[in-house]
C-alpha cells in the first residue's frame, strides 16, 4: 500500500530510508499487519509476504526462507532479534520463533531477500529477517494476550492449544525506562505417521522383509542374509534376502508435546544532556519441538539465552552479546528405537534367530512341512521378535526412559549441547561529517564459537572446540539529480581463522521518476560468501543410515568408529571388527552412484571451503492512484556450492585397488559416510517476484502476488551432488479485507497456492504435491476495554498438506484471541 511504501526501513542500507526508495527488495510486516494477520501469530503470518516460504517442521518450529535451497537446517538465512543473531550456536540455524519475540513486543519485521554479505557478513546468503521490538521510552504501559483454540489433524485428532503473553513497560523518567515480556504456548504437535517404505512406497512389512518405513525407526538396521551360505547348502537352495529389524513408529517414541516459553528484560538509559542510549537486554527461550535433520529429533526442554549490552545514538552503535544454549533432554528418535531393539536382543543374535528359523521353515526341519518363502519370513520374524518390548508396556517404558538419558549412541539416544557464542559488532555513520559529499558509514564484527557437545554431536570428547571469525565493511551513498538518483557502494572483508579471507563488494543504483516521484527503478549487483557451518567442519555423528564426518583437517582423524565385518570378510579385515575414521570417508571411498550403477568408482572428496555467490537484481516500484506495483527479478551464480556427498568406504582394501575393496563391496562390508564438500559444477538460480496492491472504496485492501523460482545445474557432470533446491517453481498469494470496514470491525482473508516440487534431504526425498490454503479472521475493537477480539482460522478448509518428506501433515488451527492494551 502507499502507506507502507512511505514507511522508514533500516535493513537495506543500515541507514534510514523510505521503503519506496530502497535499493534492494524488502518485505515489511508492521503493527497494522500484525493486527490483521489471519495466522495464529505474527511469525506464521509472514508466509503471506511476497517471495517468502515457510516450511513447517512442527507446530512450534517454522523455517523461513527466500530464493530457494530451503531446509529445516537453514544456515543460509539469518534472523536478527534486536540486532542479535537468533541462530543456535551449535546448529547454525534458527529454531523458528521458539526463542524470538511475542506478538505484544514486536514493533516491526523486515525481510531482506537474497545475499547481503557486504553489510551483514558471511551467513547473509539467502536472506535476513529483522525483528525490532518496542522501545519502553516510546511504548509504555501494560498489555496482555490470551489466545486459545484447537488444532485439527487426521492423525492427531482435535486438540486444544493456548498461547498467553504479558508485556509491561515503564518510563520511570526521561533517563530510564524498562520493559518485561513473558509468553507461553502449549499444544499438540502435528503427528508424523507415514509408514510407506522409503525404497518402494508399495511395499509393507507384510510383503517386504527389508522394509524401511518413513516414520518407523529401528528398521534401518538391516543386512543381507545368505541362507545357503549360512546353512552350507548349494547356492539357490533357499536363497538369500535383505532383512531389517522390526522398528517402532514415531508416535511410540515421542509424546508430541509442543511448548514454548520465552521471557526477556530490557533496561534503557539515556544520560541527561546527551543523545546516547545504553541498553541491557537479556532474553531466554525454552521449549519442546521436533526437528527433522538427518533423523527426527525430539527437542525437549531446549533452552537458549542471549545477553546483550548496547550503546547507540543516531550516528553509531556498539553492541556485544553472548548466546548460550542447552539441549536439555533432547534425543534422536531413530537411535531411541535402534537401541531399544538392541537392549533386549543384539543385532547378531536377532539375525541369527531369523536365519535359523527361516532355513528350518523352508526345509521343513522338525515339522516335515516346507513353508513357502512368504510364510517362512513371517515365521522367522515372529521367532526373532519373541520378547520384544511392546509400546506402552512396562518393559518398553523403562528401557525407553533409560535410553533417552544415555548420550552414547551405541547404547542411547540423547545428545548434549552446551555450545556458546560471543559476538561484537559496531557501526559508525559519518554522514553528519561527510554529508555534503556523500553518506559514508563504516563497521565491523567479531565472533567466537565454543562448541561443547561432549562428543554427542561434534568430535569434542576431549574438550570444547573453539574458533573465531571477524569482518570489517564500509558503505558510501551519493545522491544526484535533485535526489532522484542514488548510488550505493559497499565493501566488506571477512576472515575465518580456518579459511582465507573474502572480499564482498556490492553496488546499487536507484532512480525515482515522475512528477510526484511515484516510480522507482532499482538495480544492484553484489558478491557474497558463506562459511561452512560448525557441523560442516566438526560433526562426528552416527545417523544410523550413514556416519556424518565434518571435513575440517583436524576433524578427520579425531572422528573414528568401530564397525562390524562379515564372517566372509573377517580374514581380510583381520578380525570381526574394524575401525574407520573421517579420513577414510574423504580419501578411501567409492561414490554412491557408481556402486549403485554396478561400476564402482573411487573418489577423493575435497575438504569443504566457503561458498560464493554473485547476485544480480532489477526491480520497479510504482504507485498510480490507489494501485501499488512492486516487481523484481534476480539471477544468482553460485561457486563452490556447499553440499553433502554420500560415499561408501570399504572395510578392507583401498578404494580403486580393483581387488580387496571390490570384494568388500561384494560381501556387503562397506560403511556409508556423509561428507561435507563443495560442488565442482557451478549452479545458477533465478526468480521473479511481482505484487499488486489495490485500495478499494477507501475501506478495503486487495493484494495479489506471484513468485517464480528455479535453478539450473548439470546433474550429469556431478551425479552424486544433491542440490536440495526444495522450492516450488510457482506460487500465488492473495489477500482481501479491511482494517475497519464498519465501526471497530475488520476482517481479512488470505489465500495461497503452491506448485508441486521435489524435496531432497538427508532424511528422505520425494515429491511435495501442490496445495492451497485459506486463512481468515474477523476482529472487533472494544474501545471501552482498550481491547481487540479476533476470531480466526488457519487452513480454514481443512485440506491437509506438508512441505517436506517425513514431517507431519499440517492440519487446521481455529482460534480466538483477546488483546488488552492499557
Read off the CATH number of the domain in which 272 is found.
2.40.170.20
Structure confidence by residue, pLDDT tens digits, 615-636: 999 999 999 989 999 999 999 9
Same domain, 372 and 512: no
Residue 3 scores a pLDDT above 70: no
Same domain, 439 and 511: yes
Q: Is residue 739 part of a domain?
A: yes
Same domain, 773 and 712: yes
Beta strands in 640-682 (DSSP E): 642-650, 670-678
Average pLDDT for 166-193: 98
Q: What is the DSSP string of 560-586?
A: EEEEE--TTTHHHHTSSEEEEEHHHHH
Rounded Cα distance, 695 and 461, in Å: 61
Rounded Cα distance, 223 and 563, in Å: 14
Q: Which of 70, 125, 135, 63 is nearest to 98 (CA)?
A: 63
Residue 368 scores a pLDDT above 90: no
Average pLDDT for 91-114: 93
Same domain, 19 and 145: yes
Same domain, 229 and 153: no
pLDDT of residue 11: 67
pLDDT of residue 367: 83
Same domain, 317 and 466: yes
Rounded Cα distance, 585 and 671, in Å: 9
Same domain, 237 and 380: yes
Q: Is residue 669 part of a domain?
A: no
- The residue from 381, 403, 425 where one domain ends is 403
- The model's confidence at residue 816, banded by pLDDT at 50, 70 and 90, is very high
Q: Which of 518, 485, 357 is nearest to 6 (CA)?
A: 518
> Per the structure block, which three cell numbers stand in for 570?
573377517
Q: How many domains does the chain have?
A: 2
Average pLDDT for 118-138: 89
Q: Is residue 76 part of a domain?
A: yes
Question: What share of the chain in percent tops pLDDT 90?
Answer: 87
Structure confidence by residue, pLDDT tens digits, 374-405: 999 999 999 999 999 999 999 999 999 999 99
Inter-residue contact 35 to 739 (CB < 8 Å): yes
Residue 70: strand, helix, or coil: coil
Residue with cell 518485505: 27
Structure confidence by residue, pLDDT tens digits, 309-340: 999 999 999 999 999 999 999 999 999 999 99
Q: Is residue 552 part of a domain?
A: no
> Per the structure block, which three cell numbers stand in for 553?
583437517
Q: Is residue 546 part of a domain?
A: no
Rounded Cα distance, 669 and 650, in Å: 6
The total of other beta-carbon atoms located within 10 Å of residue 744's CB is 11
Rounded Cα distance, 505 and 488, in Å: 11
Same domain, 622 and 697: yes
Q: Nearest-5° angle of CA 248, CA 251, CA 254?
A: 100
Same domain, 125 and 180: yes
Q: Is residue 117 part of a domain?
A: yes
> Per the structure block, which three cell numbers stand in for 680?
565442482
Q: Is residue 646 part of a domain?
A: no
> What H or E segment, with its residue span, contains residue 396?
helix 394-403
Q: Is residue 475 part of a domain?
A: yes
Rounded Cα distance, 693 and 641, in Å: 37
- What is the average pLDDT score of the chain? 94
Inter-residue contact 341 to 221 (CB < 8 Å): yes
pLDDT of residue 19: 72
Structure confidence by residue, pLDDT tens digits, 584-595: 999 999 999 999
- The model's confidence at residue 535, banded by pLDDT at 50, 70 and 90, is very high
pTM above 0.85, yes or no: yes
Structure confidence by residue, pLDDT tens digits, 477-494: 999 999 999 999 999 999
- The residue from 377, 403, 429 where one domain ends is 403
Same domain, 326 and 276: yes
421: domain range?
A: 2-191+256-330+417-532+614-639+681-821
> Per the structure block, which three cell numbers stand in for 160?
486444544
Compute, in degrees rounded to 10, the torsion defined by CA atoms 579, 582, 588, 593: 110
Residue 5 scores a pLDDT above 60: no
- The residue from 348, 369, 403 where one domain ends is 403
Same domain, 174 and 248: no
Same domain, 323 and 338: no
Amino acid at each position: 500500500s502507499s502507506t507502507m511504501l512511505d514507511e522508514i526501513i533500516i535493513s537495506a542500507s543500515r541507514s534510514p530510508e523510505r521503503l519506496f526508495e530502497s535499493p534492494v527488495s524488502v518485505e515489511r510486516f508492521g503493527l497494522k499487519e500484525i493486527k490483521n494477520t489471519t495466522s495464529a501469530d505474527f511469525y506464521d503470518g509472514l508466509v503471506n509476504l511476497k517471495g517468502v516460504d515457510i516450511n513447517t517442521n512442527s507446530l512450534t518450529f517454522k523455517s523461513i526462507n527466500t530464493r530457494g535451497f530451503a531446509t529445516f537446517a537453514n544456515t543460509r538465512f539469518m534472523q536478527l532479534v534486536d540486532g542479535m543473531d537468533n541462530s543456535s550456536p551449535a546448529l547454525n540455524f534458527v529454531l523458528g520463533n521458539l526463542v524470538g519475540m511475542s506478538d505484544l513486543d514486536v514493533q516491526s519485521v523486515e525481510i531482506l531477500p537474497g545475499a547481503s554479505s557486504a553489510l551483514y557478513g558471511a551467513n547473509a546468503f539467502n536472506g535476513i529477517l529483522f525483528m525490532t521490538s518496542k522501545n519502553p521510552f516510546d511504548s509504555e504501559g501494560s498489555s496482555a494476550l490470551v489466545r486459545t483454540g484447537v488444532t485439527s489433524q487426521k492423525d492427531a485428532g482435535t486438540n486444544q492449544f493456548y498461547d498467553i503473553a504479558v508485556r509491561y513497560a515503564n518510563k520511570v523518567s526521561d533517563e530510564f525506562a524498562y520493559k518485561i515480556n513473558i509468553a507461553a504456548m502449549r499444544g499438540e504437535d502435528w503427528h508424523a505417521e507415514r509408514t510407506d517404505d522409503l525404497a518402494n512406497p508399495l511395499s509393507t512389512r507384510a510383503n517386504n522383509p527389508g522394509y524401511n518405513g518413513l516414520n518407523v525407526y529401528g528398521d534401518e538396521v538391516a543386512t543381507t542374509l545368505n541362507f545357503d551360505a549360512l546353512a552350507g547348502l548349494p547356492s539357490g537352495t533357499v536363497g538369500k534376502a535383505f532383512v531389517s529389524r522390526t522398528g517402532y513408529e514415531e508416535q511410540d517414541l515421542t509424546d508430541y508435546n509442543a511448548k514454548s516459553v520465552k521471557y526477556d528484560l530490557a533496561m534503557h538509559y539515556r544520560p541527561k544532556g546527551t543523545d546516547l542510549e545504553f541498553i541491557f537486554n537479556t532474553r531466554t527461550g525454552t521449549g519442546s519441538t521436533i526437528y527433522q535433520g538427518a533423523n527426527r529429533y525430539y527437542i525437549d526442554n531446549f533452552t537458549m539465552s542471549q545477553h546483550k549490552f548496547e550503546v547507540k545514538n543516531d550516528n553509531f552503535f556498539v553492541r556485544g552479546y553472548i548466546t548460550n544454549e542447552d539441549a536439555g533432554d533432547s534425543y534422536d528418535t531413530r537411535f531411541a528405537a535402534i537401541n531399544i531393539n538392541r537392549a533386549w536382543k543384539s543385532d547378531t543374535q536377532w539375525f541369527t534367530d531369523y536365519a535359523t528359523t527361516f532355513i528350518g521353515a523352508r526345509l521343513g526341519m522338525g515339522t516335515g512341512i516346507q513353508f513357502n518363502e512368504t510364510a517362512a519370513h513371517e515365521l522367522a520374524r515372529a521367532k526373532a521378535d519373541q520378547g520384544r518390548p511392546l509400546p506402552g508396556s512396562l518393559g518398553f517404558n523403562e528401557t525407553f526412559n533409560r535410553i533417552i538419558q544415555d548420550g552414547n549412541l551405541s547404547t542411547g539416544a540423547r545428545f548434549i549441547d552446551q555450545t556458546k557464542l560471543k559476538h561484537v559488532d559496531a557501526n559508525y555513520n559519518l554522514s553528519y561529517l561527510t554529508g555534503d559529499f556523500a553518506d559514508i558509514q563504516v563497521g565491523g564484527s567479531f565472533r567466537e564459537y565454543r562448541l561443547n557437545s561432549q562428543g554427542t554431536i561434534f568430535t569434542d570428547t576431549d574438550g570444547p572446540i573453539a574458533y573465531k571469525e571477524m569482518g570489517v565493511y564500509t558503505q558510501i551513498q551519493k545522491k544526484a539529480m535533485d535526489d532522484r538518483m542514488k548510488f550505493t557502494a559497499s565493501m566488506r572483508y571477512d576472515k575465518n581463522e580456518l579459511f582465507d579471507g573474502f572480499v564482498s563488494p556490492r553496488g546499487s543504483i536507484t532512480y525515482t521518476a515522475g512528477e510526484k516521484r511515484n516510480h522507482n527503478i532499482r538495480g544492484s549487483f553484489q558478491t557474497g560468501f558463506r562459511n561452512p557451518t560448525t557441523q560442516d567442519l566438526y560433526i562426528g555423528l552416527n545417523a544410523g543410515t550413514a556416519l556424518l564426518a565434518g571435513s575440517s583437517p583436524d576433524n578427520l582423524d579425531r572422528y573414528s568408529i568401530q564397525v562390524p565385518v562379515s564372517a566372509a570378510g573377517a580374514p581380510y579385515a583381520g578380525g570381526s571388527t574394524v575401525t574407520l575414521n573421517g579420513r577414510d570417508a574423504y580419501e578411501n571411498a567409492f561414490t554412491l552412484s557408481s556402486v549403485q550403477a554396478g561400476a564402482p568408482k573411487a573418489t577423493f572428496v575435497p575438504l569443504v571451503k566457503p561458498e560464493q555467490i554473485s547476485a544480480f537484481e532489477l526491480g520497479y516500484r510504482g504507485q498510480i492512484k490507489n494501485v501499488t506495483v512492486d516487481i523484481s527479478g534476480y539471477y544468482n551464480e553460485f561457486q563452490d556450492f556447499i553440499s553433502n556427498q554420500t560415499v561408501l568406504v570399504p572395510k578392507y582394501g583401498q578404494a580403486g585397488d580393483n581387488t580387496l575393496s571390490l570384494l568388500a563391496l561384494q560381501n556387503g562390508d562397506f560403511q556409508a559416510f556423509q561428507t561435507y564438500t563443495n560442488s565442482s559444477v557451478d549452479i545458477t538460480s533465478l526468480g521473479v517476484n511481482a505484487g499488486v496492491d489495490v485500495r478499494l472504496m477507501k475501506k478495503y485492501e486487495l493484494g495479489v502476488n506471484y513468485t517464480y523460482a528455479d535453478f539450473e545445474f548439470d546433474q550429469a557432470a556431478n551425479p552424486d551432488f544433491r542440490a536440495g533446491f526444495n522450492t516450488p517453481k510457482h506460487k500465488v498469494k492473495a489477500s482481501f479485507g479491511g482494517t475497519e470496514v464498519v465501526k471497530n470491525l475488520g476482517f481479512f482473508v488470505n489465500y495461497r497456492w503452491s506448485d508441486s516440487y521435489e524435496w531432497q534431504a538427508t532424511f528422505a526425498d520425494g515429491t511435495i504435491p501442490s496445495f492451497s490454503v485459506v486463512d481468515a479472521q474477523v476482529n472487533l475493537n472494544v474501545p471501552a476495554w482498550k481491547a481487540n477480539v479476533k476470531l480466526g482460522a488457519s487452513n480454514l478448509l481443512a485440506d491437509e498438506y506438508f512441505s517436506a518428506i517425513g514431517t507431519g501433515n499440517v492440519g487446521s488451527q481455529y482460534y480466538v484471541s483477546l488483546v488488552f492494551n492499557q
